[in-house]
Amino acid sequence: MALGPDGKVQILFVCTGNICRSPMAEALLKQRLNPKFRKRVRIVSAGTHAMEGLPTTMKAQSAAAQFNVDLSSHRSQPLTPWLISHSDLILAMEPEHVEMIRQLDPTSGPRTFLIAEFGLPSDSLEGFYEIMDPISGDESVYRRVYQELAEETDRILPSIEKVIESAE
């Protein structure tokens, strides 16, 4: 594992616009990660089609706020080859995001996963499972996506902590 210049493991969440799903996932992991690991990791997010500097949608902020998570300071950033190459673990929401990541950096394959497949044995993966984009949905859709991401975060947390521990 190639640690950044500051010795931290970088975990990158990727969605399309970096204004709904990946900021939610970023905030969830920051909130739920064991405090003993927090100083050893940098958690960021980006979008395959993101514009620089946009806030999360109001519906995303509202859904997260219902679970005591504040997304108001998040600003979107586009996915770049530099960001990919400096990330030790990349978790994407959809297969199309994985494809884009691998196109931008062909060496990223071994560290790039769908969030829903990370930490699962390869023989248990049947097809794929993506986190739905809530962008055109109402607040109930955003809440459902947030809850789904919370469940995935809880499921993958032990695997993420192993990644951080193995970087020492």
Sort strands 112-114 and 89-92 into parallel, antiparallel or unpaired: parallel
Q: Which sequence positions are flagged as catalytic?
A: 15, 21, 133
Q: How many CB atoms lie within 10 A of CB 102?
A: 16
DSSP state of 78: B
**Among 86, 20, 72, 85, CA closest to 50:** 20
Instruction: Report the alpha-carbon distance of residue 93 to residue 50 in Å, rounded.
Output: 14
